[in-house]
Amino acid sequence: MIQGIKTKLRTEYTVFRKEVTWVEYASWWIVRVIIACALAKTAFAGDPDGLTLRLSAKLVCTFILPALHLLPRSVFLARLSYRVQTLVSLLLFLTAVLGQYKGFYSTVEWYDAYLHTFGCFVCVFLGYALTLALQREKQPLSPLVASISGFGFSFFFAVGWEIFEFASDSLTGGNSQNWAFSNSEGLLSLFPDIEPQRYALLDTMTDLMFGTVGSIIGGIVLFIYICRKNKRDESSNKVS
């Protein structure tokens, strides 16, 4: 058993070195330390808004993905690319540190819209990584299949996030859906006749629209990337 664990660790280390640069690995720990410091400061400050629990969950998330690689390779989650952790760390920094801890959601107008657009763009590539992990054999995906898979995962994530916000507000009485619409004068100016009762709906629908834009752009970029990648792989195979 001990020998099997050692073999597993050696194998995973080899895969890790192949998929991730040391700069990326350093960025994982930088994000973890920043979130941990924000968590400590929030806890000592009294945490009136329940931010400690949210930061704690985000900090745990930074360790979950690498831990999944300790599972047997027969489990598809263990076959996820280590680069997924880099993308997730970036998203956690933008949401947990800048959005929640620094308060960009309420102080920087359009931050939520920018984040939904960029987040869904990134989720397209996470969906592509998930699709590759679901394959038991390493076969190249066609550009169309890759882009559709990535877009589908990204759009599913966007919808799932809005459901989470609705459930969270319903259970805790929070303001995830921006009922008060604080610091949203620019968006409200586009809908001058909207009734305050529809603010939460407006927030949800605009988030979905911005997320859709990010998913479409991500799908197009992924399509171009896979086309070029497949051509490079074909050329290298011919040479060898």
pLDDT for 240: 58
- Domain match, 110 and 220 both: yes
- Domain match, 75 and 138 both: no
Between the ranges 42-56, 65-79, 143-157, 225-239, where is the mean pLDDT highest? 143-157
Beta strand ranges found along the chain (DSSP E): none
Indicate the pTM of the whole model.
0.85
Which value, in Å, is the radius of gyration of the alpha carbons in the chain?
20
Poorest-pLDDT segment among 20-24, 57-61, 103-107, 165-169? 165-169
The mean predicted confidence, pLDDT, of the chain is 85
Q: Which of 52, 86, 120 is the last residue of a domain?
A: 86
- Domain match, 130 and 215 both: yes
Query: Binning pLDDT at 50, 70 and 90, where does residue 149 land?
Result: very high
What percentage of the chain exceeds 90 in pLDDT? 39
The DSSP element (H or E) to which 96 belongs, if any, is: none
In 10 A of CB 219, how many CB atoms? 25
Show the domain range for 19: 1-86
Between the ranges 53-67, 92-106, 187-201, 215-229, where is the mean pLDDT highest? 215-229
